[in-house]
Amino acid sequence: MRVVKAIFTVLFVLLIAVIVHAIFSVTMARIYLGRMDQDGEYITVGEEKLYIEVSGAGDPIILIHGFLGSYLDFDAIVDGLSTFRKVYVIDLPGFGLSRASLEGDYSKKGYADLVSGLMHILNLNLADVLGHSMGGEVALNLAYYHPERVKSLILVDSMGYSKMNFLPSLVEDNEFLNHVLMRYGFQTYLVQRFLYRQKLGDVSKFNRESFHLSFSLINHISPAFLYRFNLQDDSGALSGKIRDIKSRTLIVWGEKDRIAPVTDGERFKIDIPGSELEIITGVGHSPMLENPSLFLEKLKLFLK
């Protein structure tokens, strides 16, 4: 009887800790969401309202964030890039400040079709396209299915060869369990802080303010959207067709990337004819955040 009582007590304490942590996470997210500068606008594409920020002048370049990312991921390079390009930073539906309608196609191809539709609305016939992580796979789909839209392609620590598999198989197809795991586990403060640090090649570069702003948008993501996003996951579907991409391509990779290994960057270089590979030493999955000056230097050389 004492053993049962002890187990019950431990489980009860753990449940309380999980609930308190979830409440703390939501509170923190709301505080920082209220402090966030929102200088962009919303543009309706089909059934989706996309948050987009535009700056600079010159030939257009579109920046596409990764999984759980947002326009904030490019904050460190936008000003420098805006000195010689007109920069369009997009929050994909479901992420950042773009709430998903829950009626759309949230596959990588679906996102690519949406970006093409946005370009039509913006009267952008052709643009350079930069995609980071999952956004790189969206950019690959854009270059493959809408090659007439892509002047050049920049892949930054890109996905493209395999499925994401960020959910345990037990909850993958169960919407209730999915919601519970997302809201009370995956999207909480301590979990996301750990994952944020994992993306860094040098954890001493961890910036608390940047993390808090990013976290506020991650916590803001609807678990209902993440459920549909996972059901529609087509990650890796284009892997056998990457060799058919003809766009002039720059591949930028963080040497210490623990999310997407450098070997994936080397594979992209082999698969995309004439592509260039630049490996930035000492950085992880987000080189534009850890070493923005060197990242911009590589970008300028390629774009000019």
Percent of the chain with pLDDT over 90: 71
Task: Tell me: pLDDT of 250 over 90.
Answer: yes
> What confidence tier does 22 reach under pLDDT thresholds 50, 70, 90?
low
Joined together, the tokens standing for residue 43 give 């543009």
- Is the distance from CB of 54 to CB of 40 less than 8 angstroms? yes
> What confidence tier does 181 reach under pLDDT thresholds 50, 70, 90?
confident
Burial class (CB in 10 A: 0-12, 13-18, 19+), 293: exposed
- Is the distance from CB of 252 to CB of 208 less than 8 angstroms? no
For residues 74 and 76, what is the distance between their CA atoms, to the nearest angstrom? Answer: 6
- Is the distance from CB of 91 to CB of 50 less than 8 angstroms? yes
Task: Tell me: pLDDT of 188 over 70.
Answer: yes
Distances (CA, A) of 40 to 43, 50, 77, 217: 10, 10, 16, 15
Pairing of strands 150-156, 276-280: unpaired
List phi, psi (to 5°) of 55. -150, 160
Task: Tell me: pLDDT of 180 over 60.
Answer: yes
Instruction: Specify the residue for token string 């030939």.
Output: 59
Task: Tell me: pLDDT of 12 over 60.
Answer: no
Q: Which helix (H) or strand (E) is 246 found in, with range?
A: none
For residues 97 and 107, what is the distance between their CA atoms, to the nearest angstrom? Answer: 19
134-145 and 108-121 helices, crossing angle to 10°: 70
SS3 130: strand
Set out the domains of the chain in order of their start, with CATH numbers: 33-303 (3.40.50.1820)
Instruction: Specify the residue for token string 């790189």.
Output: 136
User: What is the torsion angle, in degrees rounded to the nearest 10, for the CA atoms of residue 132, residue 135, residue 139 and residue 145?
Assistant: 160
Q: Tell me the per-residue pLDDT of 253-274, one tens digit each, with 9 for 90 and over.
A: 999 999 999 999 999 999 999 9
Instruction: Specify the residue for token string 């996905």.
Output: 159
Joined together, the tokens standing for residue 268 give 């992209």
Q: Tell me the per-residue pLDDT of 98-138, one tens digit each, with 9 for 90 and over.
A: 999 999 999 999 999 999 999 999 999 999 999 999 999 99
Question: What is the per-residue pLDDT for 168?
Answer: 62
The more confidently predicted of residues 266 and 30 is 266
Q: Tell me the per-residue pLDDT of 48-75, one tens digit each, with 9 for 90 and over.
A: 999 999 999 999 999 999 999 999 999 9
Is pTM beyond 0.85? Reply is yes
Burial class (CB in 10 A: 0-12, 13-18, 19+), 291: buried
Q: Tell me the per-residue pLDDT of 212-232, one tens digit each, with 9 for 90 and over.
A: 889 899 988 999 999 999 999
Question: What is the per-residue pLDDT for 176?
Answer: 80
Nearest alpha carbon to residue 125 among 92, 152, 150: 150
For the chain, give the number of residues.
304
